Structure 1
């Protein structure tokens, strides 16, 4: 059955503006000449921007929502993940303004009618000219980094919600080939922001626990990996991820009724996560942690790779561990990019540290790219040679060491 998309529980306005090279400033509308504004029209199916290029400096996007739903507008970095600026909660028929300080570079624009999903009208946008000096005190810039991280998390969860709905529908209706194809792609949205869910008590266990973990803690086993085992039914002589327990011990493929229960439970749990990231509690938690929380999030995501993905124990049945690996790394690098300037500003040691971390990310991603991509898919983990695994492990360790020093450097 097809379910209606779940709208965010809170429609509080969040305006975050961070440039790819340096943190941006928020400029009042009165400080920007109306003639300089770029116009954006958000419809149910398109996102029409009046120009595809601009000069660096203060840019104003005047957004009109002519769609039938509450909408959002985003200016994204070229990678499509980092949010340079966004304005949300644009009611049908309403107008809102986004103002950012844009550095030279390549960007993407898109609108998100309904405030869920991947958005519509994604298009290239180029900024030319010279780098722009950023003004504003340290506290103000750090708060902007926190606001941008909040926007990134919300965007990933907003895309996770409909993706899980489609995935669960395929699983419940027995369209296993379709569900298997979607499994690694859907999980990527979750894996990029996993530490957020891990902070919410038993929510991450319900969504993402492996069988061996659930059994060890005496929990009902639900979520992605319970569904995974149904989609990749193990051979009769297979072992669980602990390497000792027979895969079929106390387990059998789910009945249609059980599939419906597991699918609906995953949808509900992801909906709970969506409610949380759109709540005041989430923003208050990020505000309390500040940039240290962002930095520690980058470290935590790399730890996820080191303790689970690189061993091949995460997606034990599907072998899609490298997709989780790549998404963890993307989320970690996104968090790092938001605090890198603060580390560099502490002095020569901080500047060298950020350069080293950037280089280590590049090395790890280049090695990972030899085995596929999130867009086109990765090879099954079981096809990696021991040399392949050793290379990736060494690169993770080489990145983990300087990254572990990031938080202390940012707080100097």
Structure 2
């Protein structure tokens, strides 16, 4: 789940979003052209407006008082690469593979709204040459993402049918499993910009004037309100429609080795900021199912990139293997068997156990943040 964005016409005024750019600068990074991005509460300064196609590194520093999100986006808001939850005073390096064309670098203070944006022109006809193993990784990951979308639709239709039948218990039973494919591939779904706010936004993530739709709106009806009315039945149909749109569009997503690596890290960030805290499924308490889906999706991306990552950085691959295994083992203690998604209700997981889960996520997230750099060495 990410916070929503609206189009430029709904953005705050340009006067409130002043920013500074400098002239074109060459890279000082080994992994491509480096752009210094300095984010603050109302500005987004970038060190260049033009870079050559290939591997581009954003060297991000948040000098504001709010957590921010930094993205490379197409003009239509499709996301090429992003890093969410960059805290005040925090620095982060984001590596992406970018083709020639016109883009924007967006800083989103508070991770809401259109954000502060700078134009970015990427020159040249082609990107860097890839190891053929990376081309295979991208092809296999694209097939995986499509497979997850295809498997999600019948599960969501089962969930929606139970709601339309007024069957509260059947709808509750179908809820968590209907989300699994989405959670495994969430960064790809989020890359379109407009689908996630329709299907996966929480009440506290709504923008002013936005109607609450999707899984979490229905979750509240089932667990908190304990009722299914005419509105919920309509929203169930809309959820199916929106996810069919996702299913059709997912094959057109921009996928590169670096977007796979960055997406794997984003999935762990999703766990840290939503699942471990219990905020994601706050009514159903099925957070551990989402948690497992995020970890499975991150692990799939890593496993596909591993042949190259292990060659370029053997120590990193060994550490990732170790930390994925440790987190998987810990998660297994919260379910009845390794083949089911029948996890313990998260409201039954105590403070110390949540801390243990959080520590395991952080232990994996740190080396996972280095995967993109290892892939492009």
> TM-score under structure 2 normalisation?
0.63
**Pairing 1:210–2:199 present:** no
Counterpart pick for 1:228 among 208, 215, 219: 219
Cα distance in 2 for partners of 1:368, 1:389 equals 11
**Pairing 1:361–2:324 present:** yes
The 5-angstrom pairing of residues 149-160 of structure 1 reads 149-160=141-152
Counterpart pick for 2:166 among 152, 174, 184: 174
Cα distance in 2 for partners of 1:149, 1:377 equals 26
Mark the structure with the bigger radius of gyration. 1
Cα distance in 1 for partners of 2:286, 2:341 equals 13
Number of paired residues?
247
Cα distance in 1 for partners of 2:267, 2:141 equals 14
Which residue of structure 2 lines up, in the alignment, with residue 114 of structure 1? none
> CA deviation digits over 1:198-228, x for unaligned, max 9?
11122101110011112x4431100000111
Mark the CA change 1:153 to 1:178 in structure 2 (over 3 Å): closer, same or farther: same
In structure 2, runs of 5+ residues without a counterpart are: 1-128
The answer to whether the Cα contact below 8 Å between 1:326 and 1:374 also exists between their aligned partners in 2 is no
Which residue of structure 1 lines up, in the alignment, with residue 186 of structure 2? 194
Cα distance in 2 for partners of 1:234, 1:323 equals 22
Which residue of structure 1 lines up, in the alignment, with residue 314 of structure 2? 351
1:139 Cα deviation after fit: 3.0
**Pairing 1:261–2:234 present:** yes
The answer to whether the Cα contact below 8 Å between 1:234 and 1:317 also exists between their aligned partners in 2 is no
Cα distance in 2 for partners of 1:183, 1:374 equals 18
The 5-angstrom pairing of residues 138-157 of structure 1 reads 139-157=131-149
Which residue of structure 1 lines up, in the alignment, with residue 334 of structure 2? 371
1:138 Cα deviation after fit: 5.3
Cα distance in 2 for partners of 1:303, 1:147 equals 25
The answer to whether the Cα contact below 8 Å between 1:185 and 1:374 also exists between their aligned partners in 2 is no
The answer to whether the Cα contact below 8 Å between 2:168 and 2:228 also exists between their aligned partners in 1 is no
Cα distance in 2 for partners of 1:402, 1:195 equals 19
Could you list the structure 1 runs, at least 4 aligned residues long, displaced by more than 4 angstroms after superposition. none
The 5-angstrom pairing of residues 228-377 of structure 1 reads 228-234=219-225, 255=229, 257-278=230-251, 281-282=252-253, 285-286=254-255, 290-346=256-312, 350-372=313-335, 375-377=340-342
For residue 324 of structure 1, give the secondary structure of its aligned residue in structure 2: helix
The answer to whether the Cα contact below 8 Å between 1:323 and 1:374 also exists between their aligned partners in 2 is no
Mark the CA change 1:142 to 1:217 in structure 2 (over 3 Å): closer, same or farther: farther
Which residue of structure 2 lines up, in the alignment, with residue 385 of structure 1? 350
The answer to whether the Cα contact below 8 Å between 2:319 and 2:367 also exists between their aligned partners in 1 is yes
RMSD: 1.6
For residue 224 of structure 2, give the secondary structure of its aligned residue in structure 1: coil
Cα distance in 1 for partners of 2:162, 2:347 equals 26
> TM-score under structure 1 normalisation?
0.58
Cα distance in 1 for partners of 2:208, 2:195 equals 14
Cα distance in 2 for partners of 1:264, 1:200 equals 21
In structure 1, runs of 5+ residues without a counterpart are: 1-136, 236-252
Which residue of structure 2 lines up, in the alignment, with residue 409 of structure 1? 374
The answer to whether the Cα contact below 8 Å between 2:177 and 2:341 also exists between their aligned partners in 1 is no
Mark the CA change 1:374 to 1:317 in structure 2 (over 3 Å): closer, same or farther: farther
Cα distance in 2 for partners of 1:318, 1:294 equals 30
Cα distance in 1 for partners of 2:319, 2:172 equals 38
Mark the CA change 1:340 to 1:304 in structure 2 (over 3 Å): closer, same or farther: same
Cα distance in 1 for partners of 2:265, 2:208 equals 25
Cα distance in 2 for partners of 1:300, 1:359 equals 19
1:319 Cα deviation after fit: 0.4
> CA deviation digits over 1:312-358, x for unaligned, max 9?
00001000001000000000000010111111112xxx101001011
Mark the CA change 1:276 to 1:376 in structure 2 (over 3 Å): closer, same or farther: closer
The answer to whether the Cα contact below 8 Å between 2:180 and 2:290 also exists between their aligned partners in 1 is yes
